[in-house]
Amino acid sequence: MFDSIAIVGATGAVGQLIRTMLEEREFPHKKITFLASARSAGKTIEFAGEKHRVKELKPEAFEGIDLAIGSTPDPVAKDFVPWAKERGCVVVDESGYWRMDPTVPLIIPEVNPDAVHDHTGVIASPNCSTTQMVVALKPLHDAGRVRRVVVSTYQATSGAGVGGQRDLINGSRAALENKDYKYETFAHPIAFNLIPQIGSHKHAGYTSEEMKMVYETHKILGDDTIRVCPTCVRVPVSNCHSESILVETERKITADEARELFASFPGIKVIDDLAKGQYPKPSDCDGDDAVFIGRIREDLSCDNGLTFWCVSDNLRKGAATNAVQIAELLVRTQAAVS
d(Cα 220, Cα 212) in Å, to the nearest integer?
12
Q: Which residues contact 65 (CB under 8 A, 6 or more apart)?
A: 4, 5, 6, 33, 84, 87, 89
Residues involved in catalysis:
128, 241
Q: SS3 string of the chain? A: CCCEEEEECCCCHHHHHHHHHHHHCCCCCCEEEEEECCCCCCCEEEECCEEEECEECCHHHHCCCCEEEECCCHHHHHHHHHHHHHCCCEEEECCCCCCCCCCCCECCCCCCHHHHHHCCCEEECCCHHHHHHHHHHHHHHHHHCEEEEEEEEEECHHHHCHHHHHHHHHHHHHHHCCCCCCCCCCCCCCCCCCECCCCCEEECCEEHHHHHHHHHHHHHHCCCCCEEEEEEEECCCCCCEEEEEEEEECCCCCHHHHHHHHHHCCCEEECCEHHHCECCCHHHHCCCCCEEEEEEEECCCCCCEEEEEEEECCCHHHHHHHHHHHHHHHHHHHHHHC
Measured from the Cβ of residue 101, the count of other Cβ atoms closer than 10 Å reads 12
The residues facing 246 across adjacent strands are 150, 307
